Structures are given as structure tokens and as C-alpha cells.
Amino acid sequence: MLAVAVLAAGKGTRMKSDLPKVLQPLAGATLVERVLASCKGLAPQRQILIVGHQADRVEQSLAHQHGLEFVLQQPQNGTGHAVQQLLEPLSDFQGDLLVLNGDVPLLRAETIANLLERHRSSGAAVTLLTARLADPTGYGRVFADDAAQVSAIVEHRDCSEAQRCNNLINAGIYCFNWRKLAEVLPQLSTNNDQGELYLTDTVAMLSPAMHLEVADADEINGINDRLQLSQCEAVIQERMRRHWMAEGVSFVDPASCTLSDGTRFGRDVVVEPQCHFRGDAVIGEGCRIGPGSLIDNSRIGDRVEIVYSVVRDAAVASDCAIGPFAQLRPGADLAEGCRVGNFVEIKKSSLAEGCKVNHLSYIGDAELGSGVNVGAGTITANYDGVNKHRTVIGAGSKTGANSVLVAPIELGEGVTVGAGSTLTKNVPAGALALGRAKQLVKENWQAPS
Ligand code: UD1
Ligand code: CA
């Protein structure tokens, strides 16, 4: 039997933020979401989050997580006090308790599985994860012998000069025999520099206490301040880029690009510098993205080129070209072979195959048939100040430069709109529509003197 407890009640004073620390975002997910995800594969019988500081907000953010229990720690009197709150909810529980710090988000699932395996095969009362760090400042120091048996953990601030030289640190990840832990938890004291109850003090009361050193020290980075947050972001971004490079994606300047968990690439995609992928951005094969583009929560087909553009909640089918300097907003839906050029904004509109909107246009709440050519500066005037209205343009139609289509309006197939027209009425298929003042020329005109 396995129970998992994640400690997430602390304020995170050193972040200097209105947000509770465990809700800080890291590559598109909160710290606590990442911690919970790292132990998902273990399928624990119980999964408990210890909340305290801004508990409601933390609970709300995780309301969608199935089977997660919340236990309130009020006030927050240290990590030992946090785990004491489990004495009641786990009073009948027999088995192992995995304790994870909510601010240690880079752990790999395999590492946790190894910890659990080692703990179970050795029969230890507690097994904790450790690492050797070049700079162990701030972490609890672990005192252990060559057989990996731990005698004590001393917090950085409680260490003597000599003890601080020990660079074996406590990662804040523990596997306990719950019944043995439950016996010693009530004995914790606040006899330390912070006057708190330390979970780490239980280790000296439990025997045998063992540790397992991680190979990749990056995994156990704890986040206490913004610098550490940015360092973890760098680690996680590097992991994701390496993963996609191994899957056949080229990054021209990898460190300048950021990805998220939901990013997916086909093979032979080239990502130029300064590109950012957020949410579920799915990119097809052979695309060239960037430089300088943001793709958020969108689906991109194969062989699409996107240059200096923003694509958000949109769909772009294969063989389209977007940009430079285009914006596809939510609900933009482009079929194969469309071309959207500079200073064009498209919102909640569908473009059938082969449409061209090459320059300086706004297309909103519109439906374009195949092969429509939207002239430079064409605007769909979709908003009357209160409501949004639709524009429909039939297949093969062409709008002249600087046309305004005042919605609701429908143009049939093969319509031609003269440059500079403002159209307010429907136009039947095959017609030429002109909606502009007739040009007046006064020859030999004398200016008034
Ligand atoms: C803790 C460990 C330290 C270890 C480090 C690893 C203790 C005493 N020290 O130190 O040995 O090297 O983690 O990152 O455990 N929390 C609560 N309730 C509280 C206090 C904290 O839920 O009353 C939660 C926090 O939200 C956080 C986690 O426990 O997620 C760790 O707390 P933090 O104050 O960051 O501990 P550290 O000083 O980093
Ligand atoms: Ca910490």
C-alpha cells in the first residue's frame, strides 16, 4: 500500500509574490502540478496535498485532479508539523508514505520509483533522496555512513561551520514506513533556529534510515526564490528541447526557444531562433517556424512556414504560409495552401483552400470560400458597437484594395469588389460591386485666392 503526501502549505516568503509558491508556473504548469505528475505512475491508494497558506486558491487550482485529498495545516509550523496533520486521516493506513516537497518539481518518475524500490527491498524505516551539490547552501545536510545509513539531517541554518562542509544534501523526498513514522511524529520539538517542527528530525529517530543518491542533481533543485525558479525553468526547457531534437526537430538557437508539456512536433521541423510554444501546440512534419513566433494551443499541418507571427487557439492546415507579422487569433481556421501576409489579423474565421490575405487586413467572424483573394487593406467591419456580425465571401472572389465589408454581408462566388469600396449590401455571384464616390475632375480649376 502506498500513500503520497505533498507538502504545499508554506507561503514561500522568499518568492516575494502574491501567489502561493506551489502555484508558481514552470514551463506552463504549476510547481504542485509537476510534483503530482511525477508520482502519477505509482498509482498510490491515497494522494494527499497538505495546504495552508492560501489553501482555497491552491485547492481550486487542483479541483480537476481526481482522487486528490486536501488536508489543512493551520498555522504552518514546519514540515514536521505538516506531516503530523496526516496522523488522523491516515490513522488506519498500513503501508509506505511517500513525502514530496511541493517546491521540488523536476523529479523524474523513474527516480521516485527507484526510491520506493530501494526502500522496500532494504526494509528501511525511512529512505530519503540525496544529492551531492557543488554549492549546498540552504539545503539540509545529510550525515550518512558508507553503507548509506543515515544518522541525522541538520538544516543549513542549524549547522556548525564544520557541518556545512558536508555537501550531501536532503532533497526533501522521503519514503517512510508510515506506522513507524506515526510513532515518532508526536515527539518532534521546536528546538532549532526557526522554532519549527522539522520532518527531517524524524530521521534520527527511525532505524534503519537509508538514503539514495540521485545521479542527476538537477532533479532535486528546490525552488525558494525567483532565481531558483528561473534555473529550474532552464533545466526543464533543456530537457524538452533535447527530447524533441532526438525525435528529429532542429533548433537553430535552442536556448532562445521555449516549449511546454503539450508541444508536439512532426519530423524535420526547423525551429528558428526566438520561438515559443505554449499550451497544446501541435506542429506537423517539415514545418519551418520562426524566427520570432509564438504558437499557443494551435494545430499546424505539414510544411507550414510561420515567420514573426502569433498564432493562438487557431488551426492551420498543410502548406500554408503565415507572416511575417501576422496574427491568427482564436477560431482562425485555415485550410490547405492559404497565405496570410504582413499586418493581417484573422479572428474566428474560416478560410477554404488557397485563400490569400496578403497585406494589411482584418478578417473577423468571416467565412471565405476557396481561392478568395483579399486585397490589401480589406477590412470586415464585424462589430456595430453592440453585436458581432458575419461576413461570407464566395469561392474565387476578389476584394480590391481598401475595401470595407460591413457585416452582416454575403458576397456570392466569383464576385469582384472595386478598390476603395464600402459595401453594406449583399452581392450576387459573378457581379462587380463598387461602393465608392464617383471621381470628379474639374479641369483647369482655379484655386480660390
Ligand atoms: C526543506 C528541508 C531541507 C531540504 C529542503 C529541500 C525541512 C526542515 N528541511 O527545507 O532539509 O534540504 O527542503 O528542498 O524539512 N511546508 C508546509 N508546511 C510548513 C512548512 C513548509 O507544507 O509548515 C512545505 C512548503 O510549502 C514546501 C515544503 O514544505 O513545499 C518545504 O518547505 P521549505 O520551507 O521550502 O523547506 P526548506 O527550507 O527548503
Ligand atoms: Ca524549499
At which residue does the C-alpha cell 485532479 appear?
A: 65
Contact (CB, 8 A) for 349 and 364: yes
The closest-lying atom of ligand 1 relative to the alpha carbon of residue 20 is 26
Residue 445 belongs to some domain of the structure: no
The amino acid sitting at 263 is T
Same domain, 206 and 245: no
Number of domains in the chain: 2
Split the chain (449 residues) into runs of 10 and give each run's mean pLDDT.
97 94 95 95 95 97 94 97 98 97 96 97 97 95 97 96 97 98 97 95 97 95 96 97 98 98 98 98 98 98 98 99 98 98 98 98 98 98 96 98 98 98 98 96 93
Same domain, 251 and 132: no
What's the confidence (pLDDT) of residue 230? 97
Residue 160 belongs to some domain of the structure: yes
Instruction: Name the residue among 200, 193, 181 with its Cα closest to residue 80.
Output: 200
Q: How far apart are CA 187 and CA 70, in angstroms?
A: 24
Same domain, 202 and 289: no
Same domain, 246 and 144: no
Pocket test for ligand 1, best of 83, 101, 192, 232 (most atoms within 8 A of CB): 101
What's the confidence (pLDDT) of residue 365? 98
Q: Structural domain of residue 87, as residue ranges?
A: 2-220
Same domain, 187 and 276: no
Question: What CATH number corresponds to the domain at position 170?
Answer: 3.90.550.10
Same domain, 215 and 357: no
Same domain, 65 and 115: yes
What's the confidence (pLDDT) of residue 207? 96
Contacts of 183 (CB under 8 A, 6+ apart): none
Contact (CB, 8 A) for 396 and 414: yes
Distance from residue 9's CA to the centre of ligand 1 (Å):
9
Residues with catalytic roles: 359
Same domain, 123 and 269: no
What's the confidence (pLDDT) of residue 449? 86
Same domain, 250 and 157: no
Contacts of 271 (CB under 8 A, 6+ apart): 249, 250, 251, 252, 257, 289, 290
pTM of the model: 0.91
Ligand 1 proximity of 79 Cβ (cutoff 6 Å): yes
What's the confidence (pLDDT) of residue 280? 97
The closest-lying atom of ligand 1 relative to the alpha carbon of residue 224 is 35
Q: How far apart are CA 245 and CA 268, in angstroms?
A: 10
Q: How far apart are CA 414 and CA 431, in angstroms?
A: 7
Helix (H, G, I), strand (E, B), or coil: what is residue 391? strand
